[in-house]
Amino acid sequence: MSIYNFVLIYFLIGGFGIAMINRKSLHQEANGNRWKKYWVYLLLVLVQLFLIDKGWYLYFGGVVVLIGLYEIAIHIKQTKTLLLSWGVLLVAGGFYITFFYQNNVLYQQLLFVTVVIFDGFSQLFGQLFGKTKLFPVTSPNKTVEGLLGGILSVMVTYYFIINAFHLDLLQVFVLGVFILFFAVLGDYLASLFKRLHQAKDYSPIIPGHGGILDRFDSLILASFGGYIALKLDFSNPYVFICVVYGIIIAVIFTISEILFHFYTIKVEITRKITHFLSGIVCLSFPYTLHNHWIGLLLCISFVVILWVSEKYHYLQSIHAIDRFSFGCILFPIAVYGCFFVYCTIYNHKIYFYLPIIILAISDPLAALFGKKFPIGVYRLGAIKKTLMGSVVFFLSCWVLVWIAFAQSTFPIESKVFKSIAISVLATFTEAISGKGFDNLSIPLVVELSLVLM
């Protein structure tokens, strides 16, 4: 089966979807516009596939970038803003053209078809089932249901394409992750640009579509992601490890968002679920990372993602709390600090495991039990805690410390004293720490206790 067959099958399915949408709609003009957009898009896709097949697509890509520069210019009057926007498009457009120049035809077709299927079916699923806004401010028509539908459609497509063309599973999987991430980013940036400059469309060049940039925004950025993905050297274990950890963290965030948006689980619980899962994943660092620099890179990436998502109001399953907290930022800092101590000073896993596992397990348990059973509320300054939460923290901490010391050669009296002492110090630290500082103070106190004892 050729790529053309896949495209035609999906467009046939998409046509049935549009027919279903139109049956529910009473607006004849809107129904007609959907079909016009459908046929124009099909023609555009087939023309581009033909150009890719013949090796002529880079010329088409150059025309797309030039028209995109024009569309930006007609909406921006300030010279500095115009030059900055042009610069961004030229850099992204350079990778877009380069991807379709350097790589073999099959990977060019794969990237193109991925974006086409994702764009088309995310819109189709969104119109059929969409309820939860993905970008409520910048692009209110985009929905979480549409995003998930687009991703599911791509996954189904990849299953058949990998088998039909005997492609490498890992490489195609990573390529797909990069393509989808940058496709969504491109769509978001294009919507943000229109929102900032109060433009409904970039231009009327393509009938039924919002202009060249509105049609090619995802493809341009996805080409940048595809270029990076195909340049990754998976024979280098560090590259492979970073990609795997990135995917795992993305899955954790996705689970948290689904629980928050679709199952209406409270943000305090989804935060703790993310906290717990991230901490458990980090426990694999001593086995997978052989120096602390890779750990630093991963933790910095984690901090940047959390900071950006908070600034632009994403990842509501983590940030939608009614109080100010540094916890999200301090958590990866604490992980790296403990890993640094393990790698450079005390080459024994307990110096990494114990602080992190107490942070990952005892801290969420204390918070959840304290919320569920608010027995013995007390205040230390502006910090509000519960006796129930503190007791749960102490008991779970003591169990974890005792397990950690179980294989040691310390006398039983020493084990009892050290486990109780560390648990008391950690519990006291948790009680006096507010605004998320416990994510740093608890591991720090446990680490110092291990060093001094």
The pLDDT value recorded for residue 201 is: 64
Q: Hey, CA dihedral for 7, 8, 13, 16, is it positive or negative? A: positive
The pLDDT value recorded for residue 243 is: 83
The pLDDT value recorded for residue 26 is: 65
Burial of 60: CB neighbours in 10 Å, binned 0-12, 13-18, 19+: middle
**H-only helix segments in 74-133:** 79-102, 105-129
**Could you report the per-residue pLDDT of 79-132, keeping only the tens digit for each?**
777 788 888 889 989 999 999 887 688 889 999 999 999 988 888 888 888 777
3-state class (DSSP) for residue 429: helix
Q: Which residues contact 112 (CB under 8 A, 6 or more apart)?
A: 48, 49, 52, 219
**Could you report the per-residue pLDDT of 181-196, keeping only the tens digit for each?**
889 888 877 777 777 7
Position 23, amino acid: R
Phi, psi (deg, nearest 5) at residue 138: -80, -35
**H-only helix segments in 136-283:** 144-165, 169-196, 212-231, 237-261, 267-282
Partners of 378 in the β-ladder: 385
The pLDDT value recorded for residue 40 is: 84
CA–CA separation, 160 and 413 (whole Å): 62
The pLDDT value recorded for residue 342 is: 92
H or E element at residue 134: strand 133-135
Extract the residue ranges of the chain whose pLDDT is less than 50.
none
Q: Please choose, from the candidates 452, 291, 453, 444, the residue with its C-alpha nearest in 3D space to the C-alpha of residue 355.
A: 444
The pLDDT value recorded for residue 199 is: 64
Position 6, amino acid: F
> What token pair was written down for 180?
């989808």
Cβ pair 359, 376 in contact under 8 A: no
The pLDDT value recorded for residue 426 is: 94
The pLDDT value recorded for residue 390 is: 93
Q: Which residues contact 54 (CB under 8 A, 6 or more apart)?
A: none
Phi, psi (deg, nearest 5) at residue 140: -65, -15
Q: Which residues contact 297 (CB under 8 A, 6 or more apart)?
A: 242
* DSSP at 380: E
Inter-CA distances, 284 with 287, 334, 357, Å: 6, 15, 11
The pLDDT value recorded for residue 30 is: 66
The pLDDT value recorded for residue 75 is: 77
DSSP letters of 193-222? Answer: HHHHTT-S-S-SSSTTSS-HHHHHHHHHHH
Cβ pair 322, 356 in contact under 8 A: no
Partners of 135 in the β-ladder: 139
CA–CA separation, 64 and 71 (whole Å): 10
Q: Where are the domains of the chain?
A: 3-231, 237-452
CA 450 to chain centre: 35
User: For 369, what's the count of Cα atoms within 13 Å in the CB-facing half-sphere?
Assistant: 19
The pLDDT value recorded for residue 200 is: 67
The pLDDT value recorded for residue 335 is: 94
Angle of the 438-452 helix axis to the 350-357 helix axis, nearest 10: 140
Overall pTM > 0.75: no
> What token pair was written down for 449?
């206790």
Cβ pair 244, 281 in contact under 8 A: no
The pLDDT value recorded for residue 425 is: 94
Cβ pair 364, 275 in contact under 8 A: yes
Inter-CA distances, 228 with 160, 216, 225, 232, 305, Å: 24, 19, 5, 6, 19
